[in-house]
């Protein structure tokens, strides 16, 4: 409701939404039916290429950790003792 109100008031030019509550949303209702709103299912990234990439990145990070290296994207390096 707040997003629809902000769009109607011109406070936002548009929105892109990935996760909704409930999932799937009722696309006939605001803000989902606004042409300035893009909606994708939470699983929109799923493709053979993305799954292959996900698996290989996880494997590389496990190998990095097991060989004493720092895995990518660690936001709390203090836990790597």
Question: Token digits for 66?
Answer: 């097991």
Q: What pLDDT, on the 0 to 100 scale, is given for residue 28? A: 95
Residue 14 has pLDDT above 90, yes or no: yes
The one-character DSSP state at 30 is T
Residue 10 has pLDDT above 80, yes or no: yes
Say what the pTM is. 0.54
Q: What pLDDT, on the 0 to 100 scale, is given for residue 21? A: 84
Evaluate whether 22 touches 32 at the Cβ level (below 8 Å): no
The rounded distance, in Å, linking the Cα atoms of 2 and 8 is: 10
* Residue range 21-76, pLDDT digits in tens: 888 899 999 999 999 999 988 777 789 999 999 999 999 999 999 999 999 989 99
């Amino acid at each position: 409701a707040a997003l629809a109100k902000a769009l109607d008031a011109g406070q936002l030019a548009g929105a892109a939404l990935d996760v909704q509550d409930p999932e799937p949303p009722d696309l006939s209702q605001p803000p989902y039916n606004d042409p300035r709103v893009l909606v994708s299912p939470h699983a929109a990234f799923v493709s053979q290429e993305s799954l292959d990439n996900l698996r290989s990145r996880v494997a590389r990070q496990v190998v990095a950790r097991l060989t004493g290296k720092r895995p990518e994207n660690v936001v709390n390096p203090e836990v790597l003792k």
